[in-house]
Amino acid sequence: MLKQTVLITGANKSIGFETARRLGELGYKVWLGSRDPVRGEAAAQTLRDMGHDIRVLQIDTASDDSVRAAAERVQREDGRLDVLINNAGILGDMSAPSETPLSTIKEVYEVNVFGPIRTTQAFLPLLKASTHANIVMVSSGLGSLGWLNDPTNEFASINILGYNSSKSALNAVTLSFAKELAASGIRVNAADPGYTKTDFNQHSGYRTVEQAAEVIVRLATLDRDGPTGGYFDENGSIPW
């Protein structure tokens, strides 16, 4: 029986790395996506030393050429992809919305929104070659308009124009792909890993990467009867 294959973008550290470790434990062949091949190889070797089947895939999700080349390599070596986890993302400028330069908002959208679109479109033929495939968009609770508009919610006071709106946009992207791909049997869902202690937030989060990876792994390993077009944290559905 062929091993299930998974590509995780931005997987050389933090939540992406932990997700790779968890799926490696489950027997998946992992394509560890990394912009920097040196850092990617160091992370991959750590996982190989644990006994996991890991290959580094150089991929910059903000680059058409890089994503195209990455998809061509996976096509040559595997001919299919069972799971795509769009994990790569950046925080960007945290100034007040009225003071945030448009140029920095564009940079955030290039990675957080256009990156997952670009990567999903490029790898879709490989996902369709799978007997059943899952796509996970790693979103954030800061993308939930319902939560951000609820003064009792912990995220309501975090008003980062670029990042928050990019994750709201990514949620909309999730739903669009889910609608199109439902007939193909490909499930597409958004995951909120929670406020996790990583380099991303200068380790200010209160959750561990182990906790954060839980919902991502759960959505990555859905069977054919699993949900699609949803937005979930580890406790279940959350408001758009």
What is the structure's pLDDT at 2?
75
Cβ-contact 164, 142 below 8 angstroms: yes
Distance CA 162, CA 91 (A): 8
Catalytic residue, from 28, 29, 109, 163: name it: 163
Distance CA 170, CA 117 (A): 9
Fold of 5-237: Rossmann fold (3.40.50)
Active site residue 28: no
- Cα four-point dihedral sign 139, 235, 6, 47: positive
What is the structure's pLDDT at 107?
98
pLDDT tens-place string over residues 132-183: 999 999 999 999 999 999 999 999 999 999 999 999 999 999 999 999 999 9
Distance CA 203, CA 98 (A): 27
What is the structure's pLDDT at 229?
98
What is the structure's pLDDT at 194?
82
Catalytic residue, from 28, 29, 109, 167: name it: 167
Q: Where are the domains of the chain?
A: 5-237
Distance CA 59, CA 12 (A): 11
What is the structure's pLDDT at 77?
97
Cα three-residue angle 11-15-18, rounded to 5 degrees: 80
- Strand 134-138's sheet: what is its strand order? 53-58, 29-34, 5-8, 83-86, 134-138, 187-191, 231-233, 236-237
pLDDT tens for the chain, residues 1 to 240:
578 999 999 999 999 999 999 999 999 999 999 999 999 999 999 999 999 999 999 999 999 999 999 999 999 999 999 999 999 999 999 999 999 999 999 999 999 999 999 999 999 999 999 999 999 999 999 999 999 999 999 999 999 999 999 999 999 999 999 999 999 999 999 999 987 665 655 555 557 889 889 999 999 999 999 999 999 999 999 999
What is the structure's pLDDT at 8?
98
